[in-house]
Structure 1
Amino acid sequence: MSKKHDFLAYAGAVTFCRCKQTTDLDGVDVAVMGVPFDCGVSNRSGTRLGPRSIRETSMFVGTFHYPWDYEVTEKYNIIDYGDVGYSIGNDTTHFMIEDSYEHAKKILDSGAKLLTLGGDHTIPYGLIRAASEKYGKLALLHFDSHEDTFPGVSTGEIFHGSFAYDLQEEGCIDPGKSAQVYIRTNMNECGYNIIYANEALAMGPEALASRIKEIIGDTPVYLTFDIDSLDPSYAPGTGTPVVGGPSTQEVRSVLQQLKGLNIVAADLVEVAPIYDPTEATRLAAATIARDLLYLLVD
């Protein structure tokens, strides 16, 4: 089929940016994996439909590589690994964490990088544990409006607001080498470098990216991007929106200037299509997910 058919986003098999769907990891540079899970939400549900909506929209946004200077899916072997971690029953959260851990470990041990599409922000538990086993203690680069630092494991209440507390407590994450960016809520202090939204917006993309690089250095990075880090005017389709965040363009500019960080795995979470009537949220999510691909292979 000719290249011009790539513009016809309404046709063809739905995979992330039209990448081949397979679990064969031989020679793969990045595996894109979905975790359609939303049993950890504390407000509006619906993020279990996030991976599918991001894939559908990526069929369109994957047509163009602006502002990057090459097409990442042509230069690197990127696959759509499919979905993992979904089930029904009394133990859905623990099943999701264990199943996503096993698949993440398989992908990372193969030498590939991992990009995961969520799903709510409970999904990093298994992913970060697998990445930490391979790469050692990680820096967490966390774009969000919330710190997600409520204790979960010790209280028996694991949810989308607890991963950043629990995983630094386990020793998977070095909070002193980590940055939480565009934060506009207040939770527990765990030693993370918090760059609140007002400060981040006043700094501008170039200075903010420099500050993030200064904090992290050459530490292996797990990047987690909550779509609610964007202002709700740019991403209304999410479960816990908070006003006062950045625009899509501002965030993309920051990401483009983070080239050079040793990012070993990443995720994009909290897209809830049911609250996304104009499809702005999934459009932002699919575009930013592609940006994360460039950072992973850089």
Structure 2
Amino acid sequence: MQNSIIAMMPPRLRIFESQYHTPAKAAQEVFIVALRAGHLQASPDYRIERRTCAGHDLLLCQRGRGFVQTGGRTFPVEPGELAWLNGHHPHAHWADREDPWRLLWARLDGAVLDRLFEILGGPAAPVFRLLAPQRAAAAMRRIIRLLRQRPAALDALVHVQASALIGCLFEGRHTGLEGAVDSIPALAPGLRRVLTELTVYYYRPWRVEQMAELAGLSVPHFFRCFQKATGTTPIRFLRQERISQAKRRLLESRDSIKEIAEQVGYSDPFYFSRDFKQHTGMSPAQFRKRELGVTR
């Protein structure tokens, strides 16, 4: 009897993974980049509603059911279907109360996404029935893994997977677009060591000289190699990593902005807020308020 009662209990919200990224502006101009990505099991009262947000949310329903609302219309989403919500317009999504969905999701951004959304007929039909949902799910998981592992050339590698994901949508609408090849370039052990240290110990007061010593290279040679491998400078990479970690804490904790600034390596909360706004276009408080425009 006890087992049958447990089986009848509605699922609770479970966030299996949630990753954040702050791409450089140059990357956003040439790649499809990921701002966030994750995997969750919704609860019956799960609902997210926003007037606007950066980028485009792609929601892949693995099981259960849900709904999306955009352009004043509501669309059901079934297992094996993907919903595309353009964040530049008011939108909402929520779970079916009787059978809450399990989602893989990614928030993508890039100069070409608005045009791709139009070509695919997204404004009128934002829900896609996938011919091969397992391939779309694999691309989503690779995006999540890349954001977690943060390899060199992260934005280029995410672009490959985002292109493969969007290719699945074209395939479903019979317009034909080839997916991309998943390849990860080799990286010198010294640079790999530095990247690992920066992503794990981002809160430390790093100097370029320390990074070069860790890589076993002179400062000028390290600087050139790092920029060639990642497309950005060591300090910019560190700042982007700190901002990505700050995004997580702003949404997943109730810590003050001053506390979060210290946690991610900023001794001055004013400088942190200025840096955060430079990378995201809004203050930490504005980011938290906008992203937590959520009722569950």
TM range (shorter): under 0.3
User: Higher helix share goes to which structure?
Assistant: 2
User: Higher strand share goes to which structure?
Assistant: 2
Q: With CA pairs under 8 Å and 6+ residues apart, which has the higher RCO, 1 or 2? A: 1
Provide the TM-score with structure 2 as the length reference.
0.26
Provide the TM-score with structure 1 as the length reference.
0.26
Decide which structure has the larger Cα Rg and report it: 2
